[in-house]
Amino acid sequence: MADTLLAGEDKRLISLDAFRGLTIASMVLVNNAGSWPPYPPLQHAPWDGWTPTDFVFPFFLFIVGVAMTFSFDRRLAEGADRLRLFAHVFRRSAILMILGFSIGAFAGGKWWNMTAYAMLIAGLYFVYSSTPILSTGRPGRERRNKLIGWGLLSAGVVLFLASLGEFGQQRIPGVLQRIAWCYFGVSLIMLLTTWKGRLLWTIVILNAYWLIMRYFDAPADYEMPRPDAPDDAPFRGRLNDWIDTMVFGDYPWGLRPDPEGLLSTLPAMGTVLFGALTGTWLKSAWDRRDKAIGLACAGGVLIIAGLCMDLYFPINKKLWSSSFVVFTAGWAMAILAACYYVMDVKMWRRWSLPLLVFGTNAILLYWAASLVTHSITHDIRFDVAEQTYTLQAFLYQRLFEANFEPREFASLLWSLSYVALWCLLLYPLYRKKIFLKV
């Protein structure tokens, strides 16, 4: 999702890259506490309500929507028709889904399934290396790439089907999967409507979700396993969990409902649409300073609107409530407005290098950090003085917990150190302008 070129300009929208970098760095930060409980602001709200951590994922989806506006408009200006754009959308969505499944397979100890996922991704790359997609290509390199691509896709599908029993035992939803679902759904809306249609879709989606949650519920005899919501919560997510169970079966997950489940993906599309509307505003002919002011004002209005909606449909990240969508979109607009004013109006950019390092390879960072995190916290083990340690536990206890107090502060230092490590690892890619896109 790195296509953030400004229309008519030969440079990136730096503020959006920086905001993306801040968001993805925050994802890595909150997912890698040194110990439990982590530093308090790095915890999610128990149920209704919010903490800074609850803003991270909606911010990323919002950024996806902003980037989509620039990407789609640029491709249409280059002469791409809507059918070709749809093929591009399908490829991106499929790769995001496969990357998400690969994280689930690796974390579930089924890392050998990643061979099938690697074949599928490589196959998609070769098949989409030239157009039209559904062809054998012209004689020469193009045809060779097509044949390699279709061969890899076929082999990947066969391997995946052979391990389907293992796949069914892992968690199907996930962060990258939600990004893929939202990107695909919102892309269809953007290809078929103008900004007015997108605004209407946003309003309809958020109101429809509230009505569904207000007036529909799971069957009376359905017992939600391990409910996360307190008994007196006005919305407990029974319908969300029932739908996921009917579609995915009894897949492994902790407290229910799943925060990336199917039903709550609907309002998450509203978050992406708010980003798309923001992208339209940033592409307008208004003066840059006026754009920043207008975006900040719109953000303030949405923050107040979200707090008012909280009285009827509480702000809740796990349910991705309509009030949560409006409230977090308001904050996203406000922060992006500040970044835009500082970096694209005043041109103060030197301070933002670490954010740009993260923001230009955001999906790579999330995927790689997730795999490494699982490896050092579960897979890499060794014995010291007749005690078994994971690599994470050994390093954390010897370098952080033993030298810093209180424990929550030591946990925060571990998280910050882990983020800094990834900044160092990704910096060579940024310096050589190697940006790995999905």
Whole-model pTM: value is: 0.91
What's residue 159's pLDDT? 84
Give just the sign of the alpha carbon dihedral 239, 240, 241, 244.
positive
What are the backbone dihedrals phi and psi of residue 383, each rounded to the nearest 5 degrees, phi first? Answer: -105, 135
On whether the CB atoms of residues 422 and 32 are closer than 8 A, the answer is no
Measuring CA to CA, which residue among 225, 221, 254, 256 is closest to residue 240?
256
- DSSP H or E stretch at residue 326: helix 322-340
For the chain, give the number of residues: 438
User: Is residue 195 exposed (0-12), middle (13-18) or buried (19+ Cβ within 10 Å)?
Assistant: middle
Give just the sign of the alpha carbon dihedral 22, 180, 7, 292.
negative
Per-residue tens of pLDDT for the chain, all 438 residues = 444 433 333 356 899 999 999 999 999 999 988 888 788 888 899 999 999 999 999 999 999 999 999 888 777 777 777 788 888 899 899 999 999 988 888 876 676 678 888 889 888 888 887 767 766 667 777 888 888 888 998 998 888 887 777 666 678 899 999 999 999 999 999 988 889 999 999 999 999 999 999 999 999 999 888 898 998 899 999 999 999 999 888 777 788 899 999 999 999 999 999 999 999 999 988 999 999 999 999 999 999 999 999 999 999 999 999 999 999 999 999 999 999 999 999 999 888 899 999 999 999 999 999 999 988 988 888 888 778 888 998 898 889 888 888 888 999 999 999 999 999 999 999 999 988 877
Q: What separation in angstroms does the CA of 304 have from each of 307, 323, 376?
A: 5, 10, 42
Report which residue type is found at 39.
Answer: Y
On whether the CB atoms of residues 222 and 242 are closer than 8 A, the answer is yes
Give CA–CA dist 344/147, Å, rounded: 45
Domain boundaries, the chain: 14-26+57-355
Paired with 179 in beta bridges are none
Give CA–CA dist 298/294, Å, rounded: 6
What's the half-sphere exposure (Cβ side, CA atoms, 13 Å) at 7?
20
